[in-house]
Amino acid sequence: MFDLEKLLRDNIRQLVPYSSARDEFKGEAQVFLDANENSLGSPLTKWYNRYPDPHQWKVKEAISKIKGVPPQHIFLGNGSDECIDLLFRAFCVPGKDNVIINPPTYGMYEVSAHINDIEIRRATLLDDFQLDLVHLENLVDENTKIIWICSPNNPTANSMNRQDVEIVLNNFPGLVVVDEAYINFSRHKSFIQELSDYPNLVVLQTMSKAWGLAGLRMGMAFASEAIIKIYNKVKPPYNISQVNQELALKALEEVDQVNDMIRQLVGMREALARELAALPIVRVVYPSDANFLLVKMDNARGVYEDLLKDGIVVRDRSKVELCEGCLRITVGTEKENMELLEALASLR
């Protein structure tokens, strides 16, 4: 029932992709006069006068070793944002198709839909922040191309029940995107090992959170080879710069250091949650599978403004449905968390 060719936009199915100089010639040579680069060099050192590898094979091989997913099942984007946008552009016909999100959730799915003139349908999460499968099913029609599931979810911090996600994967004939930006902080298993079971699955991860590289802009999509081929067909030819590829490769050697940071952050998250819960203004600290906490408190907007006066900025989610009265607080350093707790304790 899942037919990737049918799901694709007609213009993308027929698209002849751009063929770069790096695509057309891949062999060994001494003299490269095929790409109109500056043959004299660059003001910077090394090979920055040359175009980078359009498919980032070295980076993908390093990711492959860590994740246990073959490189042909990996797409790298200029942040997850690019991985999200390219799916809209490849699969959704502007003014006709629709996608479903499960709010409250990450804002980029909706913004990207609007940029591409795609209708957004909303299956608001249940009161326990889990998927509303009945509502989801009712929203699906023949023009529904993608269901976006964020797990662990931003801003509610919980993971979606695995069985619920499996039900969607097994029954929806379009793409199911599981955004796992926060998966490294979660007790739950990634969906990355299930790609062979689900031809309609796209798993998004990123180097912006656990890897500590939000400044690098490196998003990862994991999917069937057929879906990755479509990504490659529609992407800008050199979407990941040489600098980004080199730095990502270097960072990927430091997986032990990153795992240490993850362990530390999870420990600090739990400590911060306990201390927040003990404050009189705090009503609920929701369980978190991420590196942030969703906290319901008295007069959340007022607390937000008072914290700003102390130079502390958190995210005000108090007007977001199901998050009424809540602030979203990133786990900081020990010192930052202490400052936050002191500032909150001094409020009355």
Ligand X SMILES: *Cc1c(COP(=O)(O)O)cnc(C)c1O
Where do the DSSP E strands lie in the chain? Answer: 74-77, 98-101, 119-122, 144-150, 175-179, 201-206, 219-223, 282-285, 292-297, 315-316, 326-330
Check binding of 191 to ligand X (CB under 6 A): no
* b/e per residue 282-319 (b: at least 16 CB within 10 A): beebbebbbbbbbbbbeebeebbebbeeeebebbbbbe
**How would you list the strands of the sheet with 326-330, edge to edge?**
282-285, 292-297, 326-330, 315-316
Tell me the window of 29-37, 207-215, 250-258, 271-279 that interacts with ligand X (CB under 6 A).
207-215
Q: Is 214 in the site for ligand X (CB under 6 A)?
A: yes
157, 181, 192, 276: residue in contact with ligand X (rule CB under 6 A) = 181
**Minimum CB distance to ligand X, residue 105 (Å):** 7
| 296/315 with CB nearer ligand X | 315
- The site string for ligand X over 47-86 (x = CB under 6 A, - otherwise) reads --------------------------------xxx-----
- Based on the shown chain and the rule CB under 6 A, indicate whether residue 154 belongs to the binding site for ligand X: yes
Give the separation between CA 227 and CA 208, rounded to whole angstroms: 23
Closest separation in Å from C-beta 195 to ligand X: 19
Smallest gap from Cβ 116 to ligand X, in A, equals 17
Contact pattern from residue 89 through residue 118 relative to ligand X, giving x for each residue in contact according to CB under 6 A and a dash for the rest:
-----------------x------------
SS3 98: strand
User: Which residue's C-beta sits nearest to ligand X?
Assistant: 79
| Binder of ligand X out of 112, 208, 244, 318 (CB under 6 A) | 208
Specify the residue, 192 or 344, whose C-beta has the smaller distance to ligand X.
192
Cβ proximity to ligand X, 91 vs 106, nearer residue = 106
CB closer to ligand X out of 98 and 151: 151
Q: What is the DSSP letter of 50?
A: S
Rounded (to 5) percent helix, strand, coil in the chain: 40, 15, 45
β-bridge mates for residue 150, sequence order: 179
Q: Judged by CB, which is closer to ligand X: 8, or 331? A: 331
The CA distance from 77 to 60, in Å, is 12
Query: Residue 51 or 330: which CB sits closer to ligand X?
Result: 330
DSSP sequence for 308-342: HHTT---EE-TTSTT-TTEEEEE---HHHHHHHHH
Reduced to 3 states (helix: H, G, I; strand: E, B; else coil), residue 120 is strand
> Which is nearer to ligand X, 20 or 241 (by Cβ)?
241
Residue 245 as a binder of ligand X (CB under 6 A): the answer is no
Binding region for ligand X (CB under 6 A) = 79-81, 106, 150, 154, 179, 181, 206, 208-209, 214, 219
